[in-house]
Structure 1
Amino acid sequence: MSIWDTLFGRAPGYDPTDVPEFNFGRYTDAYKSPANYAAWDKSLLAFEKGDYVESCEAFMAYLLDEREGNVKWKTEGGKLYFEFYQGSKRVTGFADDEQLRATARVAHLDANNADLLHRLTSMNYELKYSRFAIDDDGCLAIVFDTPVNDASPHKLYHALKEMALRADKQDDLLLEEFGDYLSPTEITHLQELSAEDKTRKLDFLRRRIQYVIDYLGQGKLNPEEQPGAVAYLLLDLVYRLDYLLIPEGHTMEALERMHRMYFAREDDQPVTYKNIRLLRELQHLLRRAPESFAEELYAGKSTFGITLPANHDRLVSLIDNELPNMDWYQDNGYVEVASGIPGYIVGYALFNYAVPPPDRSLLQLYYRVCEDEYFRELGFKQQFLDRDGRPARRAIRAAITDIISQHTDAYPRLRPALSQLSFDNLMDFGRSYLLMLRELDLSKP
């Protein structure tokens, strides 16, 4: 930082180096490489020719994400052995001339419990391809098997995705509820976060939830007359916590449950009642024991994503539908609500969709700016807000330019209108930033 930056309270220029190794947001497998697509075609062709083991081997190459190092396989004596990772779980299996079988151990069954076994039986009815079972080592596992001549790439993708996602989600939930009867298994591949980083994430969760609760408690908003405003604040918070904390287990399920509850189409409940339920869930997260939350914070590799692939037009539609709602709240002095609408748009898009890579990077940059303090607590040195809390013009413009340069080869028509950005305050910045994103040309020649 220069002496002039210090004297005038300005943020320093952009420096993309020395960035801590943190992942944010939900993993997506929508960003496949040309090698992945070639492996898919090879798998299809081999299956049609009846070379089933070769088809399965090529399918593993399709799943491989070299950035994650998530899949391993080898062939011995005409038999394929494979393993891949999904969060906290490892899926292992084999394919030979007769069958393909895959297993994901969820937890070790230390003692039988009628409620637990009933829960597992009920969940089996929800599964289309796989099933819960108890293996020879007394481990609760999810198993998928099929005749190899029926193991088409399409079937394998949906079946392995089902079992991997269910195993990754249920291990933490079942261990929390039935901890007296279950114990963890096969978790040595997980990367533990430091105690300091866990504390920082817990502090962020509590700080953000308490801020919204305090604002709603001030009485500036009438929850009966302005339920939409309350919903914007609460949903912005839900998506922000999900993306920036990446929790597992109870917290992840609670955030997903809040989203499902609010947007349930068959639920004819008024928005006011839904807001009350959202607030209760958030208050419950606020009261949870720190050690319970800390156990849900770890880093792991993934193979399948749950977000839906979406093109740039989907993001444009979301912006067009929601951003104009800022006007009334801004004109009537509800700055917090007006500022929350861009946050809601960004969070909703990242929570639900696998948007194109340039969109994803630019949406994350929005969080980098708005949550500058949190990122700096995690060790990110780049400052995106100046001393007065205003967006830092030079750093943000340079960061956008850097993101565009990373995607120019794939999207040569990317030319963001940086001159449209407003840096007066976070509210105006949020509006202008999303309008800039809206106008991006992600078409390919």
Structure 2
Amino acid sequence: MFDTIRAWLSPTRMHRAPQYGRGTHALPNHNEKELFDRASEAFIQGDILSGYTFFLSSLIHQNDPFSIPHLSIERTDEMIRFSLYQGYALIKGTVTPTSLEAYADIALSEKLHVAIKRRFLERDFQLTYCRFSHSEGIIKLSIRLDNGTITPQKIFFPLREIALNADFEKEFIAGEFDESALLDTEHLLPISQNRIKSNYTFMHQWIKETRQSLIGLLSNDNTGMVSFSYLALLLQIDYLFLPHKKMAKNISEKINGYFMDDEKLTEDKNADLEQYLSELESMDIESFTTQFYHCAYTFSPFDQAMHDEIAAFIDESLNKVRWYKNNRSNYVITVIYRYISLYILYNYGLHPSLRALFHLHVEIYASDFFKTAGETPLYDPRTQTFKQNLIAQRVRESIEPYADRYKGLQSFAEHLNYSDLNHFSQSFYLQIKNLDYTEV
């Protein structure tokens, strides 16, 4: 009876997708599985156009915040025409009963540096389904599929490959060469100057706070603590600001370079991170502004991870927390707790419920940032108090919409420890680790 009254007073809403990080910024189609299955049935029956209609419809997101639809489909009796956005890229395609042909116009050939053209030739060897070509002065990336033995899987991976790689190459050109050579960029929307200025201010504030927190540690044998601090900061900048072009490339290279299995000493890797933070600190706001825009995405850049992988990473990270606790290195404990969510959001493809939950943790640790963005803060760092009811509601909204599909998936809001940030994080991650995503 109590649960019924609580549900009536606080009904669960389908949670919104976080508008941060490198995901699609929208929720998957709630009929995705059913549409995918109907596409398979139509292909088996030889109804190619209906199969493609069901499949393409399965890719349409719920609650897409972008003003232009990220995927448009037009069907006639003889063919289907579609277009989809993936960041910088616009993919246009035509489906007939015998084939699918799709392409993205990358850039005007005459405006491209010869090094870029050479790069396209090398990239062809790295691609599985699509190829670069030159036609009428335009560099294109295209695919062609034969529909003789088509299945939804045989469409998904080629379409995803062309979308992700067209976006990647246009981003690369925009960051390293002349952006005016690029084609089909009218869909990109500018970020408001107020938000740009706010992000710029927060970046400088976070860099200053990180440097101050490490005073007295840099000269000692505390390389692990320094690493966590620098990595958490870069991950936070990448997740909350969502930079593009050269800034995105550099952040990715610094983070991935740190984890590269090479002979470089940790101290040297930390020095590289420190050097890049200095570069960010010296970047003027005009250059900073050019690294941002708003755009729609159809495909996630991540393959969805198994929950066991997420649980294993949490276990490994909590073991590090335990080690630092035992060695009385209390400063780094809070940093590691912040790092865990940010790294998972950066490195793994997540179920929508998990993405919302880890975003919730980021919100709590960056409450001043979200307050400035107009969100209700979930934690007050000055009084060190939590908005417990709101946090519990957000946990329920993230989990309960999926409870019918995963019978063992249950809200854990009542099991969180609100004594302080560290106790909250410890209880939060233990609950996340034990979530049950076994399908009915």
TM over 0.5: yes
Aligned-partner Cα distance in 1 for 2:329–2:115: 49
Aligned-partner Cα distance in 1 for 2:145–2:372: 49
Aligned-partner Cα distance in 2 for 1:155–1:197: 41
| 2:361 paired with 1:366 | yes
Deviations 1:289-331 (A, max 9, x none): 4233323322222111122313433332222111132234345
| 2:313 paired with 1:326 | no
Change (3 A) 1:352 1:22: closer
Change (3 A) 1:386 1:85: same
How many residues in Structure 1 have an aligned counterpart in Structure 2?
A: 425
Q: Which residue in 2 is equivalent to 1:243?
A: 239
Aligned-partner Cα distance in 2 for 1:379–1:246: 18
TM-score using structure 1 length: 0.84
Query: 1:263 aligned to 249, 254, 259, which one?
Result: 259
Q: Which residue in 1 is equivalent to 2:197?
A: 199
Deviations 1:8-64 (A, max 9, x none): xxxxxx9x99x9997112215996446222322233334344444443333212322
| 2:167 paired with 1:171 | no
Q: Which runs of 5+ in 1 are unaligned?
A: 1-13
After TM superposition, which residue ranges in structure 1, 4 or more long, deviate above 6 angstroms?
Answer: 19-22
| 2:308 paired with 1:309 | no
Greater CA drift, 55-64 or 406-415: 406-415
Residue 230 of structure 1: CA displacement?
A: 2.0
- 8 Å contact from structure 1 (residues 29, 303) kept in 2: no
Deviations 1:314-360 (A, max 9, x none): 33222211113223434555333111111121112111223333322
Letter in 2 for 1:282: L
Change (3 A) 1:20 1:205: farther
| 2:19 paired with 1:23 | yes
Q: Which structure has more RCO (C-alpha within 8 Å, separation ≥ 6)?
A: 1
Aligned-partner Cα distance in 2 for 1:278–1:40: 44
Letter in 2 for 1:240: Q
Letter in 1 for 2:143: F
Letter in 1 for 2:85: Y
Change (3 A) 1:419 1:62: closer
Residue 380 of structure 1: CA displacement?
A: 1.3
Greater CA drift, 191-200 or 232-241: 232-241
- 8 Å contact from structure 1 (residues 311, 356) kept in 2: no
Change (3 A) 1:71 1:402: closer
Aligned-partner Cα distance in 1 for 2:379–2:400: 19
Q: Which residue in 2 is equivalent to 1:188?
A: 186
SS of the residue aligned with 1:192? coil
Letter in 2 for 1:83: S
| 2:144 paired with 1:149 | no
State percent identity of aligned pairs: 24
Change (3 A) 1:271 1:155: farther
Change (3 A) 1:146 1:61: same
Q: Which residue in 2 is equivalent to 1:43?
A: 39
Letter in 2 for 1:61: S
SS of the residue aligned with 1:102? strand
Aligned-partner Cα distance in 1 for 2:290–2:213: 30
Letter in 2 for 1:185: L
Aligned-partner Cα distance in 2 for 1:436–1:67: 28
Greater CA drift, 430-439 or 363-372: 430-439
Greater CA drift, 67-76 or 328-337: 328-337
Q: Which residue in 1 is equivalent to 2:4?
A: none
Aligned-partner Cα distance in 1 for 2:336–2:250: 22
* Paired residues for 1:272-311 under 5 Å: 272-311=267-306
- 8 Å contact from structure 2 (residues 19, 25) kept in 1: no
- 8 Å contact from structure 2 (residues 27, 61) kept in 1: no
Q: Which residue in 1 is equivalent to 2:371?
A: 376
- 8 Å contact from structure 1 (residues 307, 351) kept in 2: no
